[in-house]
Structure 1
Amino acid sequence: MLLVIDVGNTNIVFGLFNGRELAFDWRISTDKDRTSDEYGLLFNQIFQHNNIDISEIDDVIISSVVPPLMHTLPTTSVRYFNKEPIVIGPGVKTGMNIKYDNPKEVGADRIVNAVAAFEKYGGPLIIVDFGTANTFCYVSEEGEYLGGAITPGIKISAEALFLRTAKLPKVELVKPEKVVAKNTVNSIQSGLVYGYIGMVDHIIGKMIDEMNVDENKIKVVATGGFSSLIASESKYIKIIDKLLTLDGLRIIYERNKSK
């Protein structure tokens, strides 16, 4: 089996592929202070709980946007799974032409998502990843990564509102029944959720106009932890694929395994 690990700023999402089928997937909190041994023991506990023998792991591939873990998790892979992992970065074959001023600046998660979305849905397309940050990525009909936009995620905005105001409470990130709310908690939820829906649709609309593509021909794919919350009300988003990044890691692994 192939172990795929996507390291985000808030969560680490990882899974096991049996061939092209995702057999298991899990989500744990990202902790940059954990050691390679702590992560190794945590993975082993999860695998044992699911009756998975680590000897069944044939290979490992890792994508990370958290620099302190760029060494930690590869060390975990070598020490606990006896596998030298593929780490997404320079020298790894993605099969996608990155047309960015400096391709090395593009986050690994954005590239992996773009590869997966183009492989699964074709282009032209826009991928919106709702995580700690929201990323918007545009891929052409020919499969070229042309760039995009980055905004603070909805959770960051909610925490900033709570921390920077004296009387506003911390709220659960759920969609209220009405935009015109009758209490403070629902008012905050309304502003956050519907505000983000408006922002997301405005950016997507501007990208469509700027790239001069037919709105009816472009695919807009949402992924990430808050994708369902925002995408359900979006004018443009028609596809929600929460595990898109894991599929992308598998695809990139397949393109590199014979190297």
Structure 2
Amino acid sequence: MILVIDIGNTSIKLSVMDHLNVYKLIRSDVSTFTNEILNLKQVYPDIKEVAYCNVGDFPYELKEFLKVNFEVVFEINHQIKLPFNNRYESLTLGNDRIALVAGGLFTEGNNTPLLVIDAGTCVTYDFIDSDKNYFGGAISPGLQLRYQSLHNFTENLPLLKPQPTKNITGYNTETSIHSGVVLGMTLELKGAIKQYRKAHKDLKVLITGGDSELLVKQLKNRFFATPFLMLYGIYNLYLFNKNL
């Protein structure tokens, strides 16, 4: 077992896991991070290794804290070896997208084209073909950003929380917003998947992220949410580099 840390835009996930199981999952933030780590070390004193992926605010002193408390600290970055061929034509590929692709390969194997959709603060689409070539994908605003934009950039629209909806025609302000945001996102997902499947008929689709459960329901059970995809990606990138 090792400690896997996913440092996102809105929270920090701490997970004790191995290649088969997630034994403990804790949501933290910068203010509670050190205490949560020390508590985990008391429960799992034999854990000496930590692997983490950082896309959010993670101060230098917390990185140093990990180095003091663990024998091995592995960070996802652009210098590590990858279990796929990176064809992305930019040096700004996010570490989280690297981990998601690795998690997708671990989940579905290496011989099928794969589309990984992460429905978080942003919605990211990442495509890898059957020869393990990663080409990129797309980035669009997530559900929360769409709701917040309507509220922040208009005078009178309220800030709502995401909720499932079946009504394409809203009958008041609130239902109109839910229709525009949630059904709009659902149609975006369906359209993207349809376009990829035109070119790759045996495409596998994985949906993960904080809003994945809601969106999978909107897609009418054609897909399944994969909540630990990022964590397994971080874990397997660590193993891949450890064993080289």
1:164 matched to which residue of 2? 153
Tell me the TM-score normalised to structure 1 length.
0.85
Output the amino acid matched with 2:43: I
Paired amino acid for 1:218: L
| Aligned residue identity for 2:135 | L
Q: 1:3 to 1:207 in 2, by over 3 A?
A: same
1:19 and 1:175 map into 2 onto residues whose CA distance is: 33
Residue 59 of structure 1 and its aligned partner are, at CA, apart by 0.3
The 4+ residue runs of structure 1 with deviation greater than 3 A are 70-73
Answer whether contact 2:143 2:185 (CA < 8 A) is retained: yes
Q: Does the residue aligned with 1:95 lie in a helix, a strand or coil?
A: coil
In the other structure, the counterpart of 1:226 is: 211
Q: 1:86 aligns with which of 74, 89, 92?
A: 74
Overall identity of the aligned pairs, in %: 26
Match of 2:92 among 105, 115, 118: 105
CA apart distance, 1:235: 7.3
Question: Equivalents in 2 of 1:18, 1:142: separation in Å?
Answer: 27
* Structure 1 residue runs without a partner (length 5+): none
Partner of 1:21: 21
Which residue of the partner structure matches residue 52 of structure 2? 62
Q: 3-state SS of the aligned residue for 2:185?
A: helix
Cα deviation, residue 73, structure 1: 3.8
Q: Which secondary structure state, in structure 1, belongs to the residue aligned with residue 215 of structure 2?
A: helix
Q: Distance in 2 between matches of 1:235 and 1:73?
A: 42
Deviations 1:168-223 (A, max 9, x none): 111121113533233322221121110110112222223334xx211xx1111100
AA aligned to 2:22 is: L
TM-score by length of 2: 0.90
Aligned residue-pair number: 242
Distance in structure 1 (CA, Å) of the matches to 2:129 and 2:18: 31
Letter in 1 for 2:106: E
- How far apart, CA to CA, are the structure 1 residues paired with 2:59 and 2:134? 24
Cross-structure match for 2:37: 43
**Do residues 247 (structure 1) and 238 (structure 2) align?**
no
Amino acid at match of 1:60: V
Q: What is the deviation of 1:236?
A: 9.5
Aligned residue identity for 2:96: D
Residue 7 of structure 1 is matched in structure 2 by 7
Which runs of 5 or more structure 2 residues have no equivalent in the other structure? none
Alpha-carbon distance between aligned partners in 1 of 2:87 and 2:131, rounded to the nearest angstrom: 12
Q: How much is the aligned-residue C-alpha RMSD, in angstroms?
A: 2.2
Cα distance, 1:8 vs. partner?
1.1
Contact in 1 for aligned 2:122/2:142 (Cα 8 Å): yes
1:234 and 1:19 map into 2 onto residues whose CA distance is 29
